[in-house]
A and B are shown apart, each in its own frame.
Chain A
């Protein structure tokens, strides 16, 4: 149901044409030949029975009522001279409108039935698949792997030296170090940051420190191509360049 605003319906009637059509259908009359003026009394009775309505709604109902009464008067007194202005809508024009509205209501019913049947279609959701950037992928992957191997080899040597693993690095300390380095040099590569002492703990702390700096907007991160070194740039520096 529409929830945005109170919907104005009167005893289930959705406007004057709806009410008139309802009368025609209740009496099993043929829209194509019924004398619409004959429905004036019944229509007025229904309108009178309505609870209070917003003014613009009432006026729409009353406009059609007056039209119907006029049509009735005309059929009772064929000699009645038409007034220039009131002939804005003849019985045939009103019939045509009613006919058109009947079609709309029928189609609305059919559409409603389709909705209730729930036979609908779905399109693919969730965005286009992101393909990795192209070019030199295999070579880049190979050289990245060799860097990892080199790192691991050095890592192996170093690990033996560690006597007391414990708390050797803190994120706060590392953050301050990187911040100072970036402030001094403007641009540092991730490899440079790691090269000093690439044990697992140090790498993790460095990485977290970088993420934290990025989150705080102190640095910008960029990577020219897949698997290449990550460049760390001071945010102030990069904005100054722009």
Chain B
């Protein structure tokens, strides 16, 4: 019934189960969707039911949805935020070596990223993270599904990096 993602604690309250029981039930539900047109999507402690990516062309045609287009610069900024979230604009700029004002504005206005509070640092800069729309647009069931690096350089860095989605 929900049009918005539902939190684990809310589910627990409604069905009267422990968080652990809810988690197990959700895992079961996710498995039962395999082979159907639906998928269970997770972001942090929230869940929602979405359409399976393989049916995207049909669903998009039904909804009259346009395909999202992003410039290379926006994609780079988005990838830094996706893998490093929560992250400040300055941190994104340090990695990309260029000003990212415009790309962050574009990504936020397309609801692919959102503010995640402030960093406890001088100036209290805004922290950014990805949204549900991001997961949907890229057909990811959770942040754990983000593509892994293929190049040897990437693997070197990835092994040293905290896995995204495991942070609080």
B-contacting residues of A (Cβ < 8 Å)? 1-2, 4-5, 7, 9, 14-18, 31-32, 56-57, 60, 64, 97, 99-112, 114-115, 118-129
Contacts and interface: CB of A to CB of B under 8 A. Distances in A.
Interface residues of B, number: 60
Contact of A114 (B59, B147, B150, B157): B147
Contacts, number: 162
Contacts of B75: 108-109, 111-112, 115
A123 B105 contact: no
Q: Looking at B49, B50, B63, B138, which has the most chain A CB atoms within 10 Å of its CB?
A: B138
Contacts of A18: 97-98
Given A7-B71, A115-B69, A121 B78 contact: no
Interface in B23-52: 39, 41, 48-52
Contacts of B60: 118, 120, 122
Contact of A106 (B106, B137, B149): B149
B34 to A, nearest CB: 15
Residue among B72, B103, B157 with the highest chain A CB neighbour number at 10 A: B72
B102 A101 contact: no
Contacts of B137: 115, 120
Given A103-B157, A124-B49, A14 B73 contact: yes
A123 B52 CA distance: 10
Nearest to A112: B75
B78 A111 contact: yes
Given A106-B154, A118-B56, A15 B97 contact: yes
A17 B49 CA distance: 40
B12 interface: no
Contacts of A102: 151, 153-154
B135 A121 contact: yes
Interface stretch (B13-21, B79-87, B119-127): B79-87
A56 B100 CA distance: 12
Contact of B71 (A2, A100, A107, A122): A2
Nearest to B53: A119
Contacts of A15: 96-98
A64 B69 CA distance: 31
A16 B102 contact: no
Interface in B121-168: 132, 135-139, 141, 146-147, 149-151, 153-154, 156-158
A121 B52 contact: yes
Contact of A125 (B3, B80, B103, B157): B3
B158 A103 contact: yes
A123 to B, nearest CB: 5
A2 B106 contact: yes
20 contacts: A4-B109, A9-B73, A14-B76, A14-B98, A17-B97, A60-B99, A100-B95, A102-B154, A104-B95, A104-B96, A107-B149, A111-B75, A111-B78, A111-B82, A115-B75, A119-B53, A120-B139, A123-B50, A126-B3, A129-B1
Contacts of B99: 56-57, 60
A114 B139 contact: yes
Interface string B1-13: 1110000000000
Given A128-B3, A129-B1, A101 B56 contact: no
Contacts of A120: 53, 56, 60, 68, 136-139
